[in-house]
Structure 1
Amino acid sequence: MSDRRLTPANGRVAAMHLAGSVEAERYVEGAPTMVAAPVVDLCAGPDGARDRQLLLGAQVAVFEDHDSWSFVQAADGYVGYVRSDRLMDVTAPTHAVGTVATHAYAEEDFKSPDLHHLPFGARVTVLDERRRFFETNVGFIPKKHLRGVDRPFTDPATVAQLHFGVPYLWGGNSTRGIDCSGLITAALTACDVTCPGDSDMQMAQLGEEASGDYQRGDLLFWKGHVGMMVDGDTLLHANAHHMATVYERIDIAILRISSLGDGPVIAHKRL
């Protein structure tokens, strides 16, 4: 059975490459579009539950716009529904937010009205460079808060650590709220590494099996959970027990997670 999360087909429409393998009323090529809001929910259905989130500037392929909802596939392959008014025509992002968060202002002045609160990883297009700000397609942003998309981070653990203290949010993918797999996605995407959206996909697709001592950047998987080691003894993970992204000694985390009924570590992967 095909995975709903990765299959761009909903009965009415399906991606052209699925013709002959799934049933649909019509088969279409996905139209390239971009996310126009700081953070949007990618839902299982129109007005449905949040599966994941997409950030400003993320490109998606739209297969259908129906009753104010667009049926889309994200760059990582994840399929779902986004409110159509949260999408815009594609531009070429030049920079991404490289700090925990920033604001886009109406003018080249931090006392001017703030137009948007942008999370880490949101992508924008720089139109002009001023003394302390970049003028972008969404407003004026402090230059110190943006990083060229041609300069990806090199250490996923460093990016993950930027999310320390971020509140836990099921399906969350931003510094406004994040879950375990969202944390891994944020860390790897910022390092220009393609990362699937959910922990089961990440366990299947990321890294190589490892054994022995833990190293910085290693991924540990439980059933339905994932975290990243920041050193040989410390796990960083977003979890519902603490309702935040926290550091936890790995031996304590393993014991606690098992005692709560979620079982042992089932995979140790090294990127």
Structure 2
Amino acid sequence: MTDPRQRQLGDGPTRRATQLTDLCRSHGGPRDRQLQRGESVTEHDNRGDWTEVTALRDGYTGFIRSSDLADLNAPTHRVSVRATHAYPEPDMKTAELGHFGFGTHLRVLDERPKFFETDVGFVPKPHLRPLDRPFQDPVTVAQTFFGTPYLWGGNSAFGLDCSALVQMACLACDIPCPGDSDQQEAELGSPVDDLRRGDLVFWEGHVGWMVDDRTLIHANAHHMATAYEPLGSAIKRIETQGDGSVTARKRL
């Protein structure tokens, strides 16, 4: 049976998101996921204010506002810290033009001693990383989001959910990863009995990263944030609240 969230990319034009934008179930419908600035999509059907697209990162299909799509030049770097600012000049004392979260894709145009000039303004050099230099440890990436507010369907440093924490960490390490936790359980890794750093623990509708053999980091509605929690405590709490037991332990 075909997953309605997935669609063949087809021959539609490839465009990019111009800002953090919601990927919705229908035009004007509820948010399923988000796309960050610079992420690529295949455009299927422009319906005026809304356009049906498929995200190239994972094949996830939905509707985004047509005004949030453009033919941007290919990005060269990603924001590699939790968040950064862009400035009109290479000077941190100027009024910022905007703020951008981890994983935002930008194009570097020029280099100054302390800043990169990008297609959104001047960004501090330590805050950007070339796209061809992936991170090596997805858990280190996940830990960047400690304290980030929980947001259902969120995919950014300004709000994310459990599956986004997994996907964003994987993609930063060039590890292919679907968008939702049920897809991740089906497609990622191999089952294990023992646990170590980098393993994934799944429940029905939930997932988290193991920081070590006893500690979980996960974006969850109990803390309404990305938080650390002893795995034993998380298992007991989730069972007690009626959401079932662990369904899988997977190693990438």
Q: What's the TM-score bracket when you normalise by the shorter of the two chains?
A: over 0.9
Asked if the contact 1:156/1:187 (under 8 Å) is kept, the reply is yes
Structure 1 residue aligned with 2:228: 247
Quote the Cα distance in structure 2 between the aligned partners of 1:192 and 1:58. Answer: 14
Match of 1:5, SS state, is coil
The residue type paired with residue 6 of structure 2 is: L
Quote the Cα distance in structure 2 between the aligned partners of 1:83 and 1:258. Answer: 39
Quote the Cα distance in structure 1 between the aligned partners of 2:123 and 2:132. Answer: 18
Please give the TM-score of this superposition, normalised by the length of structure 2.
Answer: 0.97
* Cα deviation 1:225-253 (Å, max 9, x = unaligned): 00000000100000001100000000010
Which of these residues, 28, 33, 51, is aligned with residue 70 of structure 1? 51
Deviation at 1:68, TM superposition (A): 1.3
User: Rg: which structure is higher?
Assistant: 1
Asked if the contact 1:95/1:123 (under 8 Å) is kept, the reply is yes
Quote the Cα distance in structure 1 between the aligned partners of 2:77 and 2:179. Answer: 22
Quote the Cα distance in structure 1 between the aligned partners of 2:251 and 2:71. Answer: 38
Asked if the contact 1:221/1:227 (under 8 Å) is kept, the reply is yes
* Cα deviation 1:75-128 (Å, max 9, x = unaligned): 100000011111111422111001010011111111222122100010100000
Quote the Cα distance in structure 2 between the aligned partners of 1:148 and 1:175. Answer: 19
How do 1:69-108 residues align onto structure 2 when only pairs under 5 Å count?
Answer: 69-75=50-56, 76-108=58-90
Deviation at 1:194, TM superposition (A): 1.2
The residue type paired with residue 65 of structure 1 is: N
Asked if the contact 1:60/1:73 (under 8 Å) is kept, the reply is yes
Structure 1 residue aligned with 2:108: 126
Quote the Cα distance in structure 2 between the aligned partners of 1:114 and 1:85. Answer: 23
Deviation at 1:214, TM superposition (A): 0.9
Quote the Cα distance in structure 2 between the aligned partners of 1:155 and 1:110. Answer: 30
Structure 1 residue aligned with 2:7: 7
Match of 2:149, SS state, is coil
Structure 2 residue aligned with 1:175: 157
The residue type paired with residue 222 of structure 1 is: W
Match of 1:42, SS state, is strand
Structure 1 residue aligned with 2:121: 139
Question: After the TM superposition, which of the residue ranges 81-90 and 201-210 deviates more from structure 2?
Answer: 81-90
* Cα deviation 1:203-243 (Å, max 9, x = unaligned): 000011111x2110100000000000000010000000110
Is 1:59 aligned with 2:40? yes
Quote the Cα distance in structure 2 between the aligned partners of 1:225 and 1:83. Answer: 28
Is 1:184 aligned with 2:154? no
Quote the Cα distance in structure 1 between the aligned partners of 2:37 and 2:166. Answer: 18
* Cα deviation 1:182-215 (Å, max 9, x = unaligned): 000111010011110000000000011111x211
Paired positions, count: 251
Cα RMSD of the aligned pairs, angstroms, is 1.0
The residue type paired with residue 42 of structure 1 is: L
Structure 1 stretches (4+) deviating beyond 6 angstroms?
none
* Cα deviation 1:122-165 (Å, max 9, x = unaligned): 01000000111100011110001001111100000000000100
Deviation at 1:7, TM superposition (A): 2.8
Asked if the contact 1:59/1:90 (under 8 Å) is kept, the reply is no
Structure 1 residue aligned with 2:202: 221
Which of these residues, 182, 193, 203, is aligned with residue 200 of structure 1? 182
The residue type paired with residue 236 of structure 2 is: L
Percent identical among aligned pairs is 55
